Amino acid sequence: MKPIMRKPVPHITRSLPQRRPLKIYAFDPTRGRGLGNYMTCQVPYENLRPGPAGKYLAVIDYDSSNKVYYRPVDLDHPAILLGSGLDPSESDPQFHQQMVYAIASQTIDRFEQALGRKIRWSFNRWSSRDEADGVLRIYPHAMQEANAYYSRELRALVFGYFPASELDPGDNLPGQTVFTCLSHDIIAHETTHALVDSQRDFFTEPTSADAPAFHEAFADLVALFQHFSFKEALLEMIKRTGGKIYRSSVEAEAAQSPDGPAISAELTTDNPMVGLAKQFGDAMGMRKALRSALGTPPNSRDLDHVTEPHVRGSILVAAVFDAFFSAYVRRTSDLMRIARSARLALDTADDLHPDLANRLAGIAAATAEHFLNICIRADDHRGLRPHPRR
């Protein structure tokens, strides 16, 4: 019998992946596994050194309060790569390093997609192209303080940790350690401050009450709009609100007993899509998110007397989200009419057809992306002179 000719296997060159999957908390640890909180995000792929340290970011885990370094995570280690990163954990500092890297990378990627160009940190603005660009440092456990901030002088994002309120900790345990580096919203907010500073000189100068208020509003807008890219959480909220994702609270998972709620699944809960940094707000005894996309009713007199930057900024956040939710309602009104005419009761979670929920989620995500693009591009176009290039 004639032997079968064996051809050599052709050599195939494989390109590197475009994206790196990494596990994160969609909101913060207090949400547990519910509401799509344990999720995997896709960040742009790059070769990483332990830290993680890459092209734009270097996580340096030095705790200045305890004068100690925590061992840096190696996201390129095969055991971690195969698991799409480390599993979410409050007690593993290496997961904290992964979380800050993932959310900061995602936020940078969002800006680059909207702007259509690569970003360059403010402290690199005047360096020549030949010089190696400096990276933005991230300190996930910088100090024992209920605070997080961007510092151009330190070229860093600095995250603190602190004990939750003993008397009124909300969803936290009394006195438990709260890590600001585990809050999606706080990381996205602080990264946005660094990104806005990278856009032009003097953007961060407090020329009037509106300048710092604008920066706080803009950073909140980026963090909040990113919620609508979390598909699982968005779908869950659409089902629980009957498509009305602008509701501040959502239906309980189970119908309430006639004598009142007997188990936690019968309790209504707040809508995580519209709240910002809930764990931080709870830990400070506020019993609610630190800030919200809703809850600032239109009032033309507010601008005359509200000067605290975050509160003044919330006027702009409310106006943009009002427009966003109005656009969502208009874009989905035909689907809702069809569903109503087919006698689907949209006020209860159980009756929202999965196909309809999917369509509504697609429209909400696309509208949020559109609005975030408008915000980022509008911010890029303000200012009098172009970004200096050499």
Q: Closer to Zn ion at the Cβ: 99 or 223?
A: 223
Binding mask 267-306 for Zn ion (x = CB under 5 A): ----------------------------------------
Interface of this chain with Zn ion, residues 79 to 118, rule: CB under 5 A: none
Cβ of residue 220: shortest distance to Zn ion, in angstroms?
8
Q: Closer to Zn ion at the Cβ: 76 or 210?
A: 210
Q: Closer to Zn ion at the Cβ: 98 or 198?
A: 198
Cβ of residue 212: shortest distance to Zn ion, in angstroms?
9
CA–CA separation, 325 vs 218, rounded Å?
Answer: 17
End-to-end CA distance of the chain: 71
Q: Closer to Zn ion at the Cβ: 204 or 229?
A: 204
CA–CA separation, 338 vs 267, rounded Å?
Answer: 30
Cβ(135)–Cβ(124) below 8 Å? no
Binding mask 162-201 for Zn ion (x = CB under 5 A): ----------------------------------------
Q: What is the DSSP letter of 264?
A: G
Cβ of residue 150: shortest distance to Zn ion, in angstroms?
8
Q: What secondary structure does DSSP assign to 109-161, as a single string?
A: HHHHHHHTS----GGGTTS-TTSPPPPEEEEEEEESSS-EEEETTTTEEEEEE
Cβ of residue 309: shortest distance to Zn ion, in angstroms?
8
Cβ of residue 159: shortest distance to Zn ion, in angstroms?
13
Q: Closer to Zn ion at the Cβ: 179 or 325?
A: 179
Cβ of residue 291: shortest distance to Zn ion, in angstroms?
10
Contacts of 113 (CB under 8 A, 6+ apart): 373
Task: Tell me whether strands 136-143 and 156-163 are parallel, antiparallel or unpaired.
Answer: parallel
Binding mask 201-220 for Zn ion (x = CB under 5 A): ---------------x--x-
Task: Tell me whether strands 177-179 and 249-250 are parallel, antiparallel or unpaired.
Answer: unpaired
Q: Please provide residue 61's backbone torsions phi and psi, each rounded to the nearest 5 degrees.
A: -95, 75
- Residue labelled with tokens 């032997």: 3
Q: Closer to Zn ion at the Cβ: 57 or 188?
A: 188
Give the chain's radius of gyration (CA, Å). Answer: 23
- Residue labelled with tokens 């006698």: 343
Number of residues lying near Zn ion (CB under 5 A): 2
Q: Closer to Zn ion at the Cβ: 43 or 219?
A: 219
Contacts of 301 (CB under 8 A, 6+ apart): none
Cβ of residue 165: shortest distance to Zn ion, in angstroms?
22
Binding mask 309-338 for Zn ion (x = CB under 5 A): ------------------------------
Cβ of residue 218: shortest distance to Zn ion, in angstroms?
9
Q: Which helix (H) or strand (E) holds 2?
A: none
Cβ(274)–Cβ(328) below 8 Å? no
Q: Closer to Zn ion at the Cβ: 37 or 180?
A: 180
Chain positions contacting Zn ion, by CB under 5 A: 216, 219
